[in-house]
Amino acid sequence: MAHAFNLQRRSDGIALLYFDVPGQSVNIFNAAVFDEFESVLQTLDKNPPKILLILSAKKDIFIAGADINEFLKIKTLQKGFMASRRGQLAFQRLHLLPFPTIAVIDGACMGGGTEMSLACTFRLASDSPKTKIALPEVKLGILPGWGGTQRLPKCVGLKNALDIILSGKNIAPQQALRLGLIDGIISENQVEIQAIAFAKGILAKSQKTVKRRGKSFTNRILEDTYLGRLFIFYLIRKRVLVRTFANYPAPLKAIDVVRQTYRMNPEKGLPIEARALAELILTDESHALVNLFLWQDELKKNTAKQVREHKIKSVQNVQLITGSASSFEWACSLARKGIRVSVLGSVNTEQDFTEYLKQHSADHEINERIRNTVTFKITIDSNGGRDVILIDEANADIATLQRIEKNFDGAVGVIVNGMTDKKQLAGILRAQNRFPLYFYYPVGRNRIVEVGTSPAKNEGGLYVIFSLLQELGKIPIRIRRKNEFLFEYLLLPYLSEALRLLSEGIEPTGVDNVLKRFGMESAPFALMDAMGLRNVLSHLQKSENIPEKISVLLQEMIRLGWMGKESGKGFYDYSKKKKRANKGLGKLLTNNVKTSDLENVVKHRVIFLMINRAVLALEKELVSLPKEIDVASVFGLGFAPFRGGIYSYAQALGWQTVWRHLSDLQRKFGARFSPVELIVQKAKI
């Protein structure tokens, strides 16, 4: 039987414990792994080495944390409490071993892995770009439940600990060292050698081996006094409420646990943490967030499997046609991954790109690396071994596209975010090589990319696209109907109904604030400003039956130079550090209404229209599964994550409730709210 742990003892008293869960690409803790871990700890307790190093035998991963699938099996508070205590007691036993322990972190160290490392005496991290440390539990609707809320504040201080726990963000080695989260950085090429040298230094009691930074004077005043701590907890709780509108119980519960237990010993503090974790595991919010995590992980794994099975080589060279701001985002994303990019644009494109880099990144070293990976041309040459040609269709002129055709051999053509005449495009590029894509905004940070259908069903080309998107860290959603995109069913109804509300006199701030309180991470008018109003108008005119007065309004805003965020004004004014309402917008509106029930009017019209169109997409078989709609709606559009996605939210409401609301809206506002056939079937009307 294969084991997850391999203990090796050296003649100098140094022991090395390698973690390598068999049959898994990552190291995780589950019931079976904990059984073996406790057996190893018992062996070490009976026959102690002088010092113990804990390492991973897997490439680019230390420990991914808990087995998330086990969370879904927990149905009672008692089982949740015991699951927490299992990890707590194991790590407490590690913490109490009668010799120094060193966590040697090389690669991702997440959740339970970070909590295990906190139970060690010392922590080292490699300088690999893959090495990241985090406690991301709040992103799953829970909190660190294996001692993280107890040990982290003592390690890095109260303020820093709360920031790490509440954000769930990744921490790079240099930042971790500054915080005091680790005790040293070692070379990724000499992890074991340098870790052993560090251990020898500890055994020799070298004074230079570990130098932990103390608290600043300000932090001592705040964190070591009762009134100072009261102020910290008040301020942080207030910030969380402003950011989340109390939609997420986990951050507030984490603050309460740290507040209650900050001065407690582990025997008293750990059970409080365990009870809090048990309560959170059973919440609807946690179930929704865990499902989303598992679904997106499943989509990523399926993509990797298909690329691997079809033996697709990594994309090395990309030709990017036209040089708009959105194109520059793609160029930067590709270049950061070491993919060579050739940009075909105008005589000013290279200068524009340099300015773009200055405005969007202050890291000169990264900018220089990008600049050396991206080249610029103003004339079309032969394909030159390009693996993929990306065409920013919204900005490329038809004449240019036609001239590209003869130089297209051997490359996969991708038409990005395109909404121009599809029949015309079909004649421009060879069918077997043409794949339309849609990148959600912002292009650089958003993980979702819709992959349209090639007219010739070119499976080989499809997996080349999957390989490229995988390299960029994107999650591809495969669209199964020709000449359609899911965003036309999710994003565009969201924007068009918000614009209808505006045309009826409800201000952008009113609409945006209602939907942010509902949980939307991208409010519609702020999102349209980010997309650019020209782009928004183009999309809506081709896909949505919008009233004439909305088109006129957008055209007038564009004429005034209010193009959105990039121009400094759109629905909001960005001329100051903090965005504010564009006061000039009121002059373009013919009426200004006030409604006593703004919350329900906005929420019902926008959200139920989105539900209706999302279910229509499923009815028309744009995608295979409801989970694909949920993942796209949350990670692409920014639908409220704690609600699990647009389809899951509708299902939770109940299909009869959805049908009733839509029927009422149909009577008031017209046919766009008419419940689609699949909703009628599910409601059993």
Give the pLDDT score at 394.
Answer: 53
Does residue 329 sit in the same domain as residue 248? no
- Helix axis angle, 487-503 relative to 548-559, nearest 10°? 80
Match 């409800």 to its residue by tokens: 506
- On whether residue 626 sits in a domain, the answer given is no
Give the residues across from 477 on adjacent strands: 450
Residue 68's Cα: distance from chain center in Å? 17
Question: What would the two tokens of residue 20 be?
Answer: 């390598």
For every residue of 559-574, DSSP letters joined together read HTT--BGGGTBSSEE-
Does residue 432 sit in the same domain as residue 564? no
Give the pLDDT score at 386.
Answer: 61
- On whether residue 520 sits in a domain, the answer given is yes
Q: How confident is the model at residue 210 (pLDDT cuts 50, 70, 90)?
A: low
Q: How confident is the model at residue 419 (pLDDT cuts 50, 70, 90)?
A: very low
Does residue 466 sit in the same domain as residue 493? no
Match 């006061």 to its residue by tokens: 583
Q: How confident is the model at residue 127 (pLDDT cuts 50, 70, 90)?
A: very high
Q: Are strands 132-134 and 184-186 parallel, antiparallel or unpaired?
A: unpaired
pLDDT over 90 percentage in the chain? 67
Look at residues 438, 436, 427, 422 and name the one whose alpha carbon lies nearest to residue 404: 427
Look at residues 355, 313, 357, 310 and name the one whose alpha carbon lies nearest to residue 335: 357
Does residue 242 sit in the same domain as residue 126? yes
Contact between 328 and 371 under an 8 Å Cβ cutoff? The reply is no
pLDDT at 441 over 60: yes
- Of 239, 259, 282, which marks where a domain is finished? 282
Domain that holds residue 594: 488-621+654-683
pLDDT at 590 over 60: yes
Burial of 286: CB neighbours in 10 Å, binned 0-12, 13-18, 19+: buried
DSSP code of residue 634 = I
- On whether residue 628 sits in a domain, the answer given is no
Mention every residue, 6+ apart, whose C-beta is less than 8 A from residue 108: 26, 60, 61, 62, 64, 130, 131, 132
User: Domains in the chain: how many in total?
Assistant: 3
Please name the helix (run of DSSP H) or strand (run of DSSP E) that holds residue 163, with its range, or none: helix 158-167
Give the pLDDT score at 32.
Answer: 94
Q: How confident is the model at residue 314 (pLDDT cuts 50, 70, 90)?
A: confident
Query: How far is it, in rounded angstroms, from Cα 512 to Cα 490?
Result: 17
Look at residues 87, 178, 162 and name the one whose alpha carbon lies nearest to residue 125: 178
pLDDT over 70 percentage in the chain? 89
Q: How confident is the model at residue 448 (pLDDT cuts 50, 70, 90)?
A: very high
Interval 251-291: pLDDT, tens: 999 999 999 999 999 999 999 999 999 999 999 999 999 99
Does residue 360 sit in the same domain as residue 413? yes
Does residue 145 sit in the same domain as residue 80? yes
Edge-to-edge strand ranges of the sheet holding 51-56: 5-9, 14-19, 51-56, 101-105, 122-126, 184-186
- On whether residue 564 sits in a domain, the answer given is yes
- Write phi, then psi, for 598 (nearest 5 degrees): -55, -45
- On whether residue 581 sits in a domain, the answer given is yes
When mean pLDDT is compared over 321-325, 344-348, 494-498, the highest value belongs to 494-498
Give the pLDDT score at 461.
Answer: 81
Mean pLDDT value across the chain? 89
Q: How far is CA 235 from CA 231, 238, 588, in A?
A: 6, 5, 40
469: left (phi over 0), alpha (psi -120 to 50) or beta: alpha
pLDDT, mean of residues 345-371: 82
Q: How far apart are the first and last CA of the chain?
A: 56
Query: How far is it, in rounded angstroms, from Cα 192 to Cα 197?
Result: 9
pLDDT at 362 over 80: no
Match 């990017």 to its residue by tokens: 320
Does residue 467 sit in the same domain as residue 492? no
pLDDT at 417 over 70: no
Give the pLDDT score at 442.
Answer: 79
Q: Are strands 340-344 and 317-321 parallel, antiparallel or unpaired?
A: parallel
Q: Which is more confidently placed, 1 or 420?
A: 1
Q: Residues in the chain, how many?
A: 685
Do you find a cis peptide bond into 271, omega within 30 degrees of 0?
no
- Of 267, 282, 297, which marks where a domain is finished? 282
Does residue 467 sit in the same domain as residue 494? no
The percent helix, strand, coil of the chain (3-state, each to 5) is: 55, 15, 30
- Of 282, 303, 332, which marks where a domain is finished? 282
Q: How confident is the model at residue 360 (pLDDT cuts 50, 70, 90)?
A: confident
Give the pLDDT score at 353.
Answer: 87
Look at residues 238, 215, 213 and name the one whose alpha carbon lies nearest to residue 225: 215
Give the pLDDT score at 345.
Answer: 77
Look at residues 477, 529, 536, 504 and name the one whose alpha carbon lies nearest to residue 606: 504
DSSP code of residue 482 = T
Query: How far is it, in rounded angstroms, from Cα 41 to Cα 91?
Result: 10
Give the pLDDT score at 248.
Answer: 97
Does residue 474 sit in the same domain as residue 547? no
CATH number at 56 reads 3.90.226.10
Q: How confident is the model at residue 457 (pLDDT cuts 50, 70, 90)?
A: low
Query: How far is it, in rounded angstroms, from Cα 314 to Cα 467?
Result: 6
- On whether residue 474 sits in a domain, the answer given is yes
CATH number at 437 reads 3.40.50.720
Mention every residue, 6+ apart, whose C-beta is less than 8 A from residue 285: 141, 247, 248, 249, 250, 642
- On whether residue 288 sits in a domain, the answer given is no
Q: Which of 201-205, 216-220, 450-454 comes out lowest in average pLDDT? A: 216-220
- On whether residue 334 sits in a domain, the answer given is yes
Q: How confident is the model at residue 324 (pLDDT cuts 50, 70, 90)?
A: low
Does residue 568 sit in the same domain as residue 659? yes
Mention every residue, 6+ apart, whose C-beta is less than 8 A from residue 585: 508, 557, 571
Does residue 427 sit in the same domain as residue 504? no
pLDDT at 102 over 90: yes
Burial of 46: CB neighbours in 10 Å, binned 0-12, 13-18, 19+: exposed
Give the pLDDT score at 356.
Answer: 85
Contact between 245 and 516 under an 8 Å Cβ cutoff? The reply is yes
Query: How far is it, in rounded angstroms, from Cα 468 to Cα 117?
Result: 34
Does residue 274 sit in the same domain as residue 318? no
Contact between 615 and 490 under an 8 Å Cβ cutoff? The reply is no
Give the pLDDT score at 420.
Answer: 45
